[in-house]
Amino acid sequence: MRPRLLAVIAGLTLLTSCSSYKKPEPAFHEELVQPYTLAASDEVRIIVFGQADLSNTYKIDQGGSLAFPLIGQVNANGKTPKQLASMIRARLKNGFIRDPDVSVEVAVYRPIFVMGEVRNAGQYAYLPGMTVQNAIATAGGFTARARQQDVDLTRQLGAEVTNGVVPITAPVRPGDTLYVHERLF
């Protein structure tokens, strides 16, 4: 009787320790409805109307900046494309172009990362509207041992990195890291 009771207690302890993941905080989901902010590894298409030599695709470096002709380094980290366009417009207007018309759009989003119990773990291109399930499919799908109802998702929110357990229907953002756990049984 005593060994059976100990086994039940050990099993319950194991199950409760597995469910100790915290649910993502509200900011985790609120970030999905906020305007997209740029970060390292994003590529932006900048068009300066009437200035073909300045219009091009620029990659944001690890420091969060991009090198733009005439005005040099521009800090793009944490800025929306609209804010970046305003910054470039203001700097070009300061002695270079009389009335610049600048537009910025994201050409290539920073990649996502899929790890754990998937067939081909690695780095993958982000596509707008992507869900956890789409990302896992891109990584070759679940392995036979995968827990398929939810995954750990790590996301950078401003200066903080946060993580939580999300269902496979949850939306993914550029730069997210997904981790698929092995199921218990």
57-105 confidence digits (pLDDT tens) = 999 999 999 999 999 999 999 999 999 999 999 999 998 899 999 999 9
The answer to whether residues 138 and 174 belong to one domain is: yes
Domain that holds residue 64: 43-108
In a domain, 62, yes or no: yes
Pairing of strands 43-48, 102-108: antiparallel
The answer to whether residues 81 and 104 belong to one domain is: yes
The answer to whether residues 116 and 94 belong to one domain is: no
Closest residue by Cα to residue 112 from 175, 28, 154: 175
* pLDDT computed for residue 122 by the predictor: 96
| CATH code, domain with 150 | 3.10.560.10
* pLDDT computed for residue 39 by the predictor: 93
| CATH code, domain with 49 | 3.30.1950.10
Closest residue by Cα to residue 104 from 120, 87, 118: 87
- Let me know: does 47 contact 177? Beta carbons within 8 Å: no
For the chain, what is the largest distance between any 2 Cα atoms, rounded to a whole number of angstroms? 88
3-41 confidence digits (pLDDT tens) = 554 444 445 444 444 444 455 555 556 656 678 899 999
Phi, psi dihedrals of residue 5, rounded to the nearest 5°:
-65, -40
* pLDDT computed for residue 12 by the predictor: 45
The total number of structural domains in the chain stands at: 2
Which residues, listed in sequence order, are joined to residue 73 by a DSSP beta bridge? 67
DSSP state letters, 75-119: E-TT--HHHHHHHHHHHHHTTT-SS--EEEEEEEPPPEEEEESBT
Give residue for tokens 């827990």. Answer: 147
- Let me know: does 110 contact 158? Beta carbons within 8 Å: no
Whether 176 has a pLDDT exceeding 60, the answer reads yes
The proportion of the chain whose per-residue pLDDT surpasses 70, expressed as a percent, equals 82
The answer to whether residues 47 and 95 belong to one domain is: yes
Whether 52 has a pLDDT exceeding 80, the answer reads yes
143-159 confidence digits (pLDDT tens) = 999 999 999 999 987 77
- Let me know: does 122 contact 116? Beta carbons within 8 Å: no
